[in-house]
Amino acid sequence: MEKATELRNVLRVTKAQPLKGKDFDNFFVETDEARGVNSALRLSDIFQINIDDPQKVLFMGHRGSGKSTELYRFGKYIEDEFKVVNFSVKDEIDIVDLEYTDLIFVILRKLFEEAEKDKIPVNEYVLDNLDHYWHDKKLIDELKIEKAKIETGGKIKGGLFNVIGFYISGVLSTGSESKVAVRRHIKPRLSQLLAGGNDLIADISRKYKKKGKTLILVIEDLDKLEIPVAKKLFLDHKNILTSFNLHIVYTFPIFLHYSGDFDEIGSVFDHYELLSMIKVKDINDKSYKKGVNIIRDIVEKRAELSLFEPEALEYVIEKSGGSLRHVFEMLQNAVLDARTRDRSAEKMDQSSAEMAYKRLRNYFERIIWAEHMIPLKALYESIDKKPVPDSKLNELLKCMAVIEYNGERWCGIHPAVEDILKKKGEIGNTIKEC
């Protein structure tokens, strides 16, 4: 990715995706001062200080706050001592109805694949136990695995665990009804699978140690689970998530941090870390220049500032509420609007910025309902900006209508939502349509 020097190329450099590899080196901007904390460094301390005591850590933050980029930065901090296995659960399985059984399988599969990739041989006794676990005729029949494939499984590297893993991966990633069979197989034999899984972890961890590395697993996108799915996983099955004997970082939905269940969830994990949104206003609704300047620096790393009218860029940053996702989304829509009106346009102007903001506000208008008004009004009128946990707050945090900020750990209403409420006369002074 190269820095945009023409307006049309702003579309390419503002895609909502994490910075990794060369893009990280070229475009990363340190936001620690504006956030009030270096979360990547804090995480690295947790694992480096407790290197021989497997830590289970929750990492949370709003969508668009830069969690994936921060986790990549964390990986760079610890790469000399740790073997980091990082994957997105969305890339492996269907997360719409994800269950703990699906996640257990994916964890073991990814660890085995990483060991294979690094040419780390897995102990045959460990593989035999895993083969035995999956060698269930009814399951094999339901998954429609051919007899020839099963026989081949005994002769190839990884055995039946490798063969059947291919089929199960397909089942769990497509929403197939066959996942019911997989879950039915795992649940009554869960302790056996966990024991076999920890044997696998112990074996490959020991071999990584000989190479001077400690194994750590980072699981991304669990924060994107729907509310009922997330509660079932992290509340009902929290002890299973902490049962593997290795370091693990689980991305965690921020809305559960504000639920009445968080104390129970947090009690079984070793640490939780929250990556706050970059605030563009302070708790007293005054412009926070440090945050505004940081987001402008992030944009400038990716595109020449001459491509934006200064007031228009300032407007987008202010109306984003500090969400980098919404900054980039509005920039994309504003550029498209400017180029639709004039193919030779060289700058994003104020009119285009306002049109892009209107699209963002329309999104919130579709998802903010009457039952959300009570918690929103209560937060708006609150002096300390500490919301009262309830089911509606969970929904508002999930969609970023309510955003948590750093410093005193307070919450604000997204500017688009605040404008909607003012337009309806629900809070403050009624505002005119922009």
DSSP 266-334: HTTSSEEEE-PBPPSB-TTS-B-HHHHHHHHHHHHHHB-GGGB-HHHHHHHHHHHTT-HHHHHHHHHHH
Task: Please give the biggest Cα pair distance in the chain.
Answer: 74
Q: Band of the pLDDT at 165, cuts 50, 70, 90?
A: confident
Residue 150, pLDDT score: 66
Cα–Cα distance between 147 and 409 in angstroms, integer?
Answer: 58
Three-state DSSP class for 88? strand
- φ/ψ bin of 29: left (φ > 0), alpha (ψ from -120 to 50), beta (otherwise): beta
Residue 128, pLDDT score: 86
Taking 60 as the threshold, does the pLDDT of residue 125 lie above it? yes
Taking 70 as the threshold, does the pLDDT of residue 57 lie above it? yes
pLDDT in tens, 398-418: 999 999 987 567 899 999 999
Closest listed residue to residue 51, CA positions, set 273, 200, 205: 205
Of the CA atoms within 13 Å of residue 283, those in its CB half-sphere come to 14
pLDDT in tens, 317-348: 999 999 999 999 999 999 999 999 999 999 99
Residue 33, pLDDT score: 86
Of the CA atoms within 13 Å of residue 82, those in its CB half-sphere come to 27
What is 218-270 written as a DSSP string? EEESGGGS-HHHHHIIIIITHHHHT-SSSEEEEEE-HHHHTSTTHHHHHTTSS
Asked whether the beta carbons of 260 and 267 are under 8 A apart, the reply is no
Taking 60 as the threshold, does the pLDDT of residue 79 lie above it? yes
The arithmetic mean of pLDDT across residues 33-57, rounded, is 94
In sequence order, what are the residues at sequence separation of 6 or more whose Cβ sits closer than 8 angstroms to the Cβ of residue 346? Answer: 7, 307
Single-letter amino acid code for the residue at 418: E
Q: Band of the pLDDT at 238, cuts 50, 70, 90?
A: very high
Residue 159, pLDDT score: 65
Residue 127, pLDDT score: 87
Residue 149, pLDDT score: 67
Taking 60 as the threshold, does the pLDDT of residue 55 lie above it? yes
H or E segment to which residue 338 belongs:
helix 324-341
List the structure tokens of 363: 């999104």
Q: What sign does the dihedral 147-149-153-154 (CA atoms) show?
A: positive
Strand order in the sheet with 82-88: 82-88, 214-220, 247-252, 56-60, 271-274
Taking 70 as the threshold, does the pLDDT of residue 53 lie above it? yes
pTM for the predicted model, two decimal places: 0.90
Cα–Cα distance between 373 and 426 in angstroms, integer?
Answer: 8
Q: Band of the pLDDT at 178, cuts 50, 70, 90?
A: confident
Percentage of the chain with pLDDT > 70?
A: 95
Residue 407, pLDDT score: 57
Taking 70 as the threshold, does the pLDDT of residue 157 lie above it? no
Percentage of the chain with pLDDT > 90?
A: 74
The arithmetic mean of pLDDT across residues 175-190, rounded, is 87
Per DSSP, 360 falls in state H
Asked whether the beta carbons of 101 and 186 are under 8 A apart, the reply is yes
- φ/ψ bin of 144: left (φ > 0), alpha (ψ from -120 to 50), beta (otherwise): left
Least confident of 159-163, 213-217, 219-223: 159-163
Q: Band of the pLDDT at 89, cuts 50, 70, 90?
A: very high
Closest listed residue to residue 246, CA positions, set 277, 223, 222, 215: 215
Cα–Cα distance between 175 and 245 in angstroms, integer?
Answer: 29
Taking 70 as the threshold, does the pLDDT of residue 378 lie above it? yes
List the structure tokens of 108: 């073991």
Unique residue bearing structure tokens 């947090």: 266
